[in-house]
Amino acid sequence: MSKPLYLGKLQLYWCRSCNLPVLGENCNCGSDTDNLEVTPPGDVRPAFKYDIDFINSISIKQFNTPLISTGKIVLLNKIPSEDRMEEIIVDGEIIGSIRYEIEDLKWKLLLRLSGARKLFQYNKQDKSDIKSWVIIDDSAVKPIANGANALSPGIIDADYGIVKEDEVVVLTPENKVVATGRAKMTGNKMVESSRGEAVKTRWRDLPISDNSSTLSDRTMQTWSDVQDVNKHIMDDYIERAHSFIKNVSASYNLPVSVSYSGGKDSLAVLQLVSECLNDFTIIFADTGLEFPETVENTYMAADKYNQDLKTESAGNAFWESVDNFGPPSIEVRWCCKVCKLGPITRLIENNFENGCLTFIGQRKYESSSRARSKNVWKNPWVNNQIAASPIQNWTALHVWLYLFKTNAPYNPLYEKGFDRIGCWLCPSASLADFKRLKNTHPEMEKQLKDYLLDYANRMGLSKDWVKYGLWRWKKLPPNIAKMAERKSIDTVPKSNMENQNKLTFSMTSGYSPCKSGGIVAEGSFETTIDMELIKDTGLLLPVGSVSYIDGAASIFSNKDSVHVFASGNITSRGGTQKKTKKLMKKAEFSVRRALKCSGCGVCVAHCPNNAIQIKSGTAVVGDDCTHCSECIRVCPVVKYKDLTV
């Protein structure tokens, strides 16, 4: 599992008097609040009705009873995971998490002790109707509470419907909760076996007798109530955002625009700017991969705020380019340059001859690169655009409370299970998101799936490579790689020697408008690459220091880097556009040299360190290489003058 990301101060507190979430240490009612230690980055958001119903449906499936009662304010906190995982916050406690498990292709509810008590201790439902329980002997209570797993000899009863890897709740004979965890054997085996680990416990503690909560007994909670208790905090945040907008717009003698994406953050910025300025332009770069709801929402927002809307579309650029670059991945998001950066650049150049100041909905809690960003910056790729974010320090809950307060027209997809709005086939989306897409937009999901299956077939990859969402990476995360190995899924494209003679290469470059940011170049050959041949010849060494893993090579030149993948993709990242593109070209030429080397020996004579030999009719670079690139310069397979980009 990924590590928690600390992107800023955790800002969630809870007022026990009001039993409501507060974004500061003091509630508007005058009471102090308790700090709620959620997992960083702590970008907490409201749970909509769909989310609550969905959580309850999982709870019913696993435990035969819903987890969340009617009338509760529920928060969700998205946390690092192999796919998608969110903490569930109710009554000032994290009562559990929902996690999409790629290996099983399904959601699971992972209860914490407070959540288990809601189901098994405080629930008035007949306990015989609840599933997935395990009862332990009194002698086993203390060891388990102190951290031990539940062993079969200590179990006196269990739900016989439990199967291995089910989530279960461990109880005392008096039905008091001791632990929650995952079953390591079936329910009947737990009771009948005389040895073995029955439950691997995750959360555990000594049982408590009753619900000793000191929370307010308020039975019905509304988001209007949450707005009321946060009024003093939100007023301060809004005032500071207003001051920022007024000061920045007065500091630049440029026309003002608001970049709108159809997402909540850009909507909050649009609302804020509309409260400060009378004349500005809304700009919308349509990637050609937008949800129809997003496009409709954009025009609705322009109408509501009565401002000029300028749009630019990438049209069908993605589908026209995908055969050149292959499916986009988390490491190789060429689509950002083709579908997002291109339209943005054209839109700015066509409508703002002398440049513009653009207010953008960027927040530091979204990613590490955005956490490092300043509030005002110059777009390194769109030279005539100054960008500014008035909500840089807002969490998602700040944004939502503001949108609720102002009745801003937010995208309806948020109420349908989507926590992010962007390109519908973004590789950064979770597999759970794509499963949801199949229900909400089946024609889109089918278009993507059909392409991926065709691509997999051409590359010698199995249908499981598509089924388990492995196309989203060039280099699989360690746990995903282990899962693929357990399921015997080959993730390295097969080399196509017939097409390697073509070696047609396509490249795009520029500042990445996605969360990773930076100056990035991405390219692809029309064919797969024989990485074993690349490794054996050492012909990537003239570019920089090299490390290899299965199906990929990483090359480092000072602080810049380039990655070569067996799929034929190459991605480069550098401090400047020129360095990035030059490094990309060197990597491209080195691949060509390795695949087309005739063993002429020109490079041997020109190597100042005698690091190259001819072996079996091809040049081989040894460890004495100092990465001077002189051999690339003289190689007749490539033209070094092209490196002067």
Q: Dmax over Cα atoms in the chain, in whole Å?
A: 86
- The least confident of 46-55, 449-458, 537-546, 560-569 is 560-569
CA-CA distance, 316 to 17, in Å (whole number)?
55
* pLDDT averaged over every residue in the chain: 89
d(CA 218, CA 221): 7
Percent of the chain's residues with pLDDT above 90: 65
- Does the pLDDT value for residue 217 go beyond 60? no
3-state secondary structure of 204: strand
Dig out the tokens for 514 from the structure. Answer: 């996605």
pLDDT band with cut points at 50, 70 and 90 for residue 373? low
Reported as a single tens digit per residue, the pLDDT across 6-62 is 666 778 999 999 999 999 999 999 999 999 999 988 999 999 999 999 999 999 999
Q: Helices (H) and strands (E) in the chain — how many of each?
A: 22, 28
What is the reported pLDDT for 77? 97
pLDDT over 70 at 278, yes or no: yes
Report d(CA 172, CA 189) in Å as an integer.
Answer: 19
DSSP 53-97: HHHHHHHHHHHSS-SS-TT--EEEEE---SS-EEEEEETTEEEEE
Burial classification of residue 368, based on how many CB atoms lie within 10 Å of its CB (0-12 exposed, 13-18 middle, 19 or more buried): middle
CB 13, CB 35: distance < 8 Å? yes
Task: Write the burial class of residue 50 (CB in 10 Å: 0-12 exposed, 13-18 middle, 19+ buried).
Answer: middle
pLDDT for res 502: 54
Q: What tokens appear for 623 in the block?
A: 């460890």
pLDDT at 466 over 50: yes
Percent of the chain with pLDDT over 70: 90
Q: What is the pLDDT of residues 386-421, one digit of tens each?
A: 999 999 999 999 999 999 999 999 999 999 999 989
DSSP for 334-390, please give it: HHIIIIIIHHHHHHHHHH-TT-EEEE----TTS-HHHHHS-SEEE-SSSTTEEEE-T
Q: How far apart are CA 343 and CA 64, in angstroms?
A: 50
For position 21, what pLDDT does the model report? 97
CA distance 152 to 552: 46
Q: Average the pLDDT over 595-611 and give the result.
A: 84
* pLDDT value for 365: 67
CA distance 511 to 456: 29
Least trusted range by pLDDT, from 92-96, 208-212, 523-527, 620-624: 208-212
- Residue 601 pLDDT greater than 70, yes or no: yes
Q: Do the beta carbons of residue 468 and residue 483 sit within 8 Å?
A: yes
Q: Check whether 614 has a pLDDT greater than 60.
A: yes
pLDDT over threshold 60, residue 339 = yes
Query: Residue 259, class by beta-carbon neighbours within 10 Å (0-12 exposed, 13-18 middle, 19+ buried)?
Result: buried
Q: Is the pLDDT of residue 551 over 70?
A: yes
pLDDT, residue 532, reads 87
- CATH number for the domain formed by residue range(s) 230-413: 3.40.50.620
Q: Where in the chain is the domain with CATH 3.40.50.620?
A: 230-413
Mean pLDDT lowest among 3-12, 463-472, 514-523: 514-523
The CATH class, in words, for 132-210 is mainly beta
Q: Where in the chain is the domain with CATH 2.30.130.10?
A: 132-210
Q: Report the amino acid identity of residue 520.
A: V
The predicted structure's pLDDT at residue 635: 85
Residue with tokens 């960003």: 373
Q: What is the pLDDT of residue 527?
A: 78
Residue 498: pLDDT over 50: no
pLDDT at 294 over 70: yes
pLDDT of residue 593: 87
Section 419-444 average pLDDT: 95
Higher pLDDT, 573 or 216: 573
Tell me which DSSP letter residue 520 carries. E
Cis peptide bond prior to 41, omega within 30° of 0: yes
Paired tokens of 217? 């007994």
Q: Residue range 476-503: average pLDDT?
A: 78
pLDDT classification of 68: cutoffs 50, 70, 90: very high
Q: Return d(Cα 342, Cα 313) in angstroms, integer.
A: 9
Question: ∠ at Cα 145 (140, 149), nearest 5°?
Answer: 65
